[in-house]
Chain A
Amino acid sequence: MLDVRIRRRLGSFELEVALAAPRGAVTVVVGESGGGKTTLLRLVAGLLVPDEGRIALDQRVLCDRAAGTWVAPEARSTGWVAQDYALFPHLSARSNVAFGLRALGRPRAEVRERTERALTRFGIAEVAGRRPHQLSGGQQQRVALARALVLDPQVLLLDEPLAALDPGSRRSVRGELRRLLDGLPCVTLFVTHDPAEALAFGDRIAVLEGGRVTQSGPREEFLRHPGSRYVAEFLGVNLFEGEIVERTGDGLAMLEAGGGRLAVPDPGAAGRARALLHPHDVTLSLEPPVGSARNLLRGAIEDLIPEPPAGERVRVLLETSPPLAAQVTRAAVLSLGLSRGREVWASFKATAVELLPS
């Protein structure tokens, strides 16, 4: 278990993070660019000194400002894969991979054997004689991973490992990377700004907002209970923030949000409130629907986005008040003849709305 509790000021920005990441799992730290993700990795690697706090790996304290403990980066057993990989341009792929073993002063035969094994395992034996600039983005990434993992690090730090790739190769590399990371015994800390990557890679997910971890936990928990607008947006969930203006007495209340009024479960008090609505709970129709749904909104379709992987489900963004995202099947899109600009009715039950503790 990697335990991080640190504070570090950088100019006007302050990173204050408490985070625990278990072994044998990928912990994704997701947050917007400039949110301190790279700084966090650098602190764990020992490339940056925290102003306050403590970093420990199991029983071993890597850094403790209060106790004056400091383990140099070369003694920490962390593997670091930088955003653009930071491969040594003057060395071949093979020598890049062998760099750490040589630095450790391992016997020549062992260096050769372990290097070749890593090159084969990461599928780069064929291009091992090439310099980094002669490699594709995906190959560079594998060299960087092999270079870090050949040392069997206790902690693997991945800084936006897919960001430097073009969209074409990103898809195939993503699958490869997922397989590589599966079954690694170390603590893997993976930072990204891309929510889809977070969901694809994270056994556990931590959200970094404004320099602080605002939510962390297993992926499933995230999908069920997104805790902030940022998380909701990245999960594609509707998040309404507004004011309870009326309690109707039948267990429901009226929430005024985004220029409209929604029937929601009664939170028990008036005042500010936040509510969630899953897109698949929204029903779309061309005529005003008959039924018990208390919420009925009309608006034009702003966009239709087929969802990965196969586009069987389609996200429909609506220009309603408040704006809504609905999720329907592709068959429904075809049978209703949904297209951009078309006016539709959106309905959902008041009980489908989940009020968040505020």
Chain B
Amino acid sequence: MSPGARPGAAAIAPLHVAALLATTLLALLLALPLLGLLVRVSPGELLARLGDEKVLEALRLSLATSAAATVLVALLGTPAAYLLATRQFRGRPALEVLLDLPMVMPPTMAGFALLLAFGRTGLAGRALSLAGISLPFTTLGVVVAQTFMAAPFYLVSARAGFAGVDRRLLDAAATLRAGETQRFLRVVLPLAAPSLLAGLAMSAARALGEFGATITFAGNLPGVTQTMPLAVYVAMQSDLDAAIVLAVLLLLMSLGLLLAMRAATRGAWPGLARAGRPDPAPAR
């Protein structure tokens, strides 16, 4: 029986057939390429090619940069999301739009903008070069590009998580002698944790898959800025097998992050919905 059909429904509604058809088409569109990728390489072959220097180099670089970007996103994004979720201030809507913008921005455009800002002649670039830091065409640049593109995914989820923490639990914590820091660490963080972890997984996946901004801003230097997505693109034209192995690895890692995100969301505290419900008639 199709999902949502009522038991005992005699005739299948035409709308149902249409929905079923559409879902099947969409699933095929998404599944076929993945299948095509997976049938091209056997597990044994995959393992054998893992030792390949070209593959290893890209894998190492991708893991290091996306891990660094994710940590950066967490460190900067957590306080920012908390501020945005809990404080009212002038210009907050504008700030929210600004921080969300990379989510809908074409990545190559983002990379180009980063280059203009942090390039040798760019506004921030000149200041950074005085401090001896250069971003374009460096591994650090990769991390910056990934952070730029990945941060909004964490911010959106973390903001929702923080906003969802019942204010009255914080009031209760305050009367129980917990100061602001304690309230944050012992009530807000654990209650928002599922949203934070889900956001972090999304963010890590975005950083791992980043292509456009990276290649525009940081270039495509093997071992320095050539992350896995870039390596897949290059290998497609020279070493198809290496490209397939890299692509399958990326697919598996993304899948892992997606599953982690789903697990985090599902692990939300039971009974939270009840405790967090707004007062039916707000008492004054």
Chain A interface (Cβ within 8 Å of chain B)?
10, 13, 15, 33-39, 42, 45-47, 72-76, 78-80, 82-84, 86-90, 99-100, 102-104, 131-134, 147-148, 151, 157, 159
Contact = CB atoms under 8 A, between A and B. Distances in A.
A89 B165 CA distance: 11
Give the interface centre of B172, B190, B275 by most chain A CB atoms within 10 Å.
B172
Interface of B: 166, 168-169, 171-179, 182, 186-187, 190-191, 269-272, 274-276, 279, 281, 283-284
13 contacts: A74-B177, A79-B175, A86-B169, A86-B172, A87-B172, A88-B187, A89-B169, A89-B271, A90-B191, A103-B178, A103-B186, A104-B177, A133-B270
Contact of A87 (B177, B182, B275, B281): B275
A82 B172 contact: yes
Given A10-B284, A103-B186, A131-B270, A86 B275 contact: yes
B272 A89 contact: yes
Contacts of A38: 283-284
Contact of B173 (A34, A75, A103): A103
A159 B175 CA distance: 14
A133 B270 CA distance: 7
A39 B271 contact: no
A93 to B, nearest CB: 12
Contacts of A134: 271
A200 to B, nearest CB: 21
A87 B276 CA distance: 10
A23 B226 CA distance: 73
Contacts of B271: 89, 131-134
Nearest to B178: A103
A74 B172 contact: no
Contacts of A45: 171, 174-175
Nearest to A132: B271
Contacts of B284: 10, 13, 15, 34-36, 38-39
Contact of B168 (A75, A78, A82, A103): A82
Given A38-B284, A88-B187, A47 B174 contact: yes
A76 B174 CA distance: 10
Contacts of B182: 103
Given A45-B174, A83-B283, A151-B177, 15 more contacts: A33-B283, A42-B171, A46-B174, A47-B171, A72-B174, A74-B177, A80-B171, A86-B166, A89-B269, A89-B276, A99-B178, A103-B176, A131-B269, A133-B274, A147-B176
B86 to A, nearest CB: 15
Nearest to A13: B284
A212 to B, nearest CB: 14
Contact of B191 (A34, A86, A89): A89
A134 B270 CA distance: 9
Contacts of A74: 174-179
